Chain A
């Protein structure tokens, strides 16, 4: 018998299993909350703060994704304070990061709160020095533009690219590469403050780093900052079209573990491989073989070369 605690969320009393977070309690009814850094399969880092809620008696708002519900808690998820903080936090994000590929749910929340990321001024253009900034030192701004994380895309291997102009610093990739899944520790957060960034040691290229190209960081990235090379090339060529894609679930053929794969295909070509986050074997994570070792499937038989094949071949040049 698991114990329960009673809480009131937006005027609705409910009993939830002890140890549930406020977010879990909300989602157990139809009261969804925005989240960005949170993912069911990873340890909560509570850094993005878009999920904050008001708990009566607490001086500040609290992150619903990590705060455990306590007996008698009275929670408001749609008070003026909550709406205000979420609005400004989204505005901070969208004013500094390219969020154009972030999921529709997030965009929906931003609309709902009436976000206006342009109110901090015009966005500053890309810079090349973000990997070499020193903690505690930055050039004083003029205030004419709003600083961004815009920077060149890192394309250093055939399997995935890192476009940190889209990075909201949610720490998901670091967790997936580290203790929560892969245990490879190829990447971590370097630097400090606005200059904090995801980095290998000394910003070395991925092929020289500890990376084993499992793609698990790509699988958890919420903003498209980490993107399979196939998707990246197709997008650049204007050919990525998710409406024309279908997903086929199958089991990886490489070893006997039984990882489920989702093959995303467009025009009869595999353009991306994922694994369901709720799959008991993988929790959404794969290894390099299941994730990237699919080209043999398309080389069987003598298929005619399609425009997609031509674009994908660019990645290997």
Chain B
């Protein structure tokens, strides 16, 4: 491939940022020409390179695109193509500090910060920032300084951070069970503290038992994925373990961008070593020597703690060529997302790591056969992974005794909106929705509706309070626990406005690849915007059916679910 560059000058700052992010050894230059042309081997540095320039300079200029293109041997049109896929990457000059002000479903009923701040070029509206428990939330991108979060935020605080001040964020409310026992109690920066509170016991046990026994234990435990699809974790691990040849990969999905979800953030901020330990066990059990943790870009604190923890584990010999002296190699790389909900979809996430647009792949093939870099891959949600530590510590049988037979263990629920004590609640499967809301202090005001499972889930009303929160009860009731979202709206909330915001979310977050979702999300939003007192129910049903049947991925399949439930509940007016 013979690349043609833009011919724009790169600044010193841009060059430094790019060179620091992209290992030089991978590029061989002779007389100013790039002679190494293996695209795939370099391409996966693309997103880190864009992130480096964006973080240092505040936007990615033509000169920076040229420099990245040159260094990674990726055509400039493709660098631009990837850059413009992500909401946190800018390709036009912008103020050095920019506030992404959440106006999504939890935050918008708490305050109208976007309105209060007025029309300024350093304030942009943002989808859910995963801080719904301390609404309203704001995320700041600051060129040359670390990004940060303010939650809850006021308009005047936002203004002062835009002028250079730091911000304060409340500690999260956590109602802990076995999974969250360290969060808020044990120093997340201390490996010693982790070890003295039961940390790395599970890995030791895994090493003692061997891969087959670990997976057998997981299968006994009945552990199912917490990322939305409830797929049995043991089955996934076994499929990858059985693949005869490496390399294989294990990936922790920490993209957590489903509106209303913040449990993974609380885990990552409060107990990062637990995630590292679990991913190490996944590597050991499947034969993968490399793990990735893909964390959403709007989680600067969790990212920093995770990176610190990975370094500490490596220093202590718990990652590296000979993990814990047990004779196997495993290491972890933390990758940062750049503002794209769709990158939580597993195959989009792989493409994102590989340096391509975060467009989901058509399945089959499934990740256990062809995942990251086309290799067998286990991908699990953060919460799924930390359950593995518990399974191995307690034993699969003991674990399986908690919860219900088909939904074993505990679940992290994200309570937000109009509840007395928003936060993460760890409860055994089987508690009713009503009891869970009571556990969080009950509804603030009169309960109107609850968003269950997330924006890809559904709205329910008080008649659902008796629903037992298990996978099987949810399925029978035609709803989904999704990512554990329980967002309460009291009777004061303008629900039509909420439904419109959700439709807007999917219109913004569709990757745009396939027609039913790319156009369907726009048409659904238009139809919902027209629904003033009467709703075109059959038109929306027609669209939803085609989106569910013909879209490539789960985003399109579920994009109209909340809207459909809102129609059924009469929120959007009389059917037309």
What's the least CB distance linking B114 to chain A, in Å? 12
Contact B516 A89 (CB under 8 A): yes
Q: How far is the CA of A100 from the CA of B362 in the complex (A)?
A: 29
A279 at the interface (CB under 8 A from B): no
Bitwise interface map of A from 122 to 137 toward B, beta carbon under 8 Å scored 1, else 0 = 0000000000101111
**Interface size classification for chain A:** 35 or more
For A219, the chain B residues whose CB sits under 8 A away are none
Residues of B within 8 A of A168 (CB): 515
Least distance between A2 CB and chain B CB atoms (Å): 21
A85 touches which of B1, B529, B546 (Cβ 8 Å): B546
Q: Is the CB of B76 within 8 A of A95?
A: no
**Is there contact, CB below 8 Å, between A190 and B81?**
yes
CB distance from B146 to the nearest CB of A (A): 22
CA–CA, A89 and B92, complex, Å? 34
> Is B550 within 8 A of A60, CB to CB?
yes
Known: A185-B75, A201-B65, A210-B75. A135 touches B523 (CB 8 A): no
Q: Which of A46-54, A236-244, A250-258, A267-275 contacts B (4 or more CB under 8 A)?
A: A46-54
Stretch from A138-146, A153-161, A303-311 that touches the partner: A138-146
Q: A92-B519, A119-B539, A193-B507 known; A135 and B65 CB under 8 Å?
A: no
A84 in complex: contacting residue of B126, B340, B545, CB < 8 Å: B545
Q: Please pick, from A50, A193, A202, A209, the residue contacting B91 in the complex, using a CB distance under 8 A.
A: A202
Chain A residues near B530: list those with CB within 8 A: 121, 142-144
Q: Are B81 and A88 in contact (CB under 8 A)?
A: no
Contact of B549 with A188 in the complex, beta carbons under 8 Å: no
Known contacts being A136-B339, A185-B77, A201-B65, is A142 close to B529, with CB within 8 Å? Answer: yes
B193 at the interface (CB under 8 A from A): no
Contact A61 B550 (CB under 8 A): yes
Q: Which residues of B contact A76 (CB under 8 A)?
A: none
State whether the Cβ of A196 lies closer than 8 Å to any Cβ in chain B: yes
CB <8 Å contact, A194 and B512: yes
Choose one: A61, A89, A210; the contact of B3 (CB below 8 Å): A210
Asked whether B511 is an interface residue with its Cβ less than 8 Å from the other chain, the reply is yes
In the complex the two chains form, is B339's CB within 8 Å of A135's CB? yes
List residues of chain B with CB within 8 A of the CB of A88: 516, 520, 542-543, 545-546, 550
Complex contact B514–A48 (CB within 8 A)? yes
Interface contact A200-B518, CB-CB below 8 Å: no
How many chain B residues touch the partner (CB < 8 A)?
A: 64
Label chain B's interface by main secondary structure: helix
Q: Which one, B82-90, B196-204, B307-315, is touching chain A? A: B82-90
Scoring B1, B518, B530, B542 by chain A CB atoms within 10 A of each residue's CB, the highest score goes to B518
What chain B residues lie within 8 Å of A52 (beta carbons)?
549-550
* Cβ–Cβ contact B519 & A95, under 8 A: yes
Which residue from chain A places its CB closest to the CB of B505 in the assembled complex? A136
Question: A193 with B512: in contact, given A93-B519, A121-B526, A185-B77 (CB under 8 Å)?
Answer: yes
Taking CB atoms, residues of chain B closer than 8 Å to A143 are 525-531
Asked, given contacts A88-B546, A199-B81, whether A147 binds B522 with beta carbons under 8 Å apart, the answer is yes
Please tell me if the beta carbons of B512 and A195 are within 8 angstroms of each other in the complex: yes
* Complex interface: chain B residues within 8 A of A188 (CB): 75, 77-78, 80-81
CB distance from B477 to the nearest CB of A (A): 19
B225 is an interface residue with CB less than 8 A from chain A: no
The distance from the CB of A57 to the nearest CB of chain B, in whole angstroms, is 13
In the complex, chain B residues whose CB is within 8 Å of the CB of A60 = 548-551, 557
Nearest chain A CB to B497's CB is how many angstroms away? Answer: 11
Given contacts A84-B545, A186-B77, 17 further A-B contacts (CB under 8 A): A49-B551, A84-B546, A85-B516, A88-B520, A88-B542, A92-B520, A93-B515, A134-B87, A136-B340, A136-B508, A143-B529, A185-B78, A192-B511, A193-B510, A194-B522, A201-B6, A209-B4
Which A-B residue pairs are the 4 nearest by beta carbons?
Answer: A196-B512, A136-B87, A143-B530, A188-B81
22 A–B contacts from the bound complex (CB under 8 Å): A47-B552, A48-B514, A60-B548, A66-B362, A84-B545, A84-B546, A85-B545, A85-B549, A92-B523, A93-B519, A95-B523, A96-B522, A135-B84, A135-B339, A136-B87, A137-B125, A141-B525, A143-B530, A186-B77, A196-B511, A200-B77, A202-B91
Which B residues fall within an 8 A CB radius of A?
1, 3-4, 6, 62, 65, 75-81, 84-87, 90-92, 124-127, 339-340, 357, 362, 500, 504, 507-516, 518-523, 525-531, 539, 542-543, 545-546, 548-552, 557
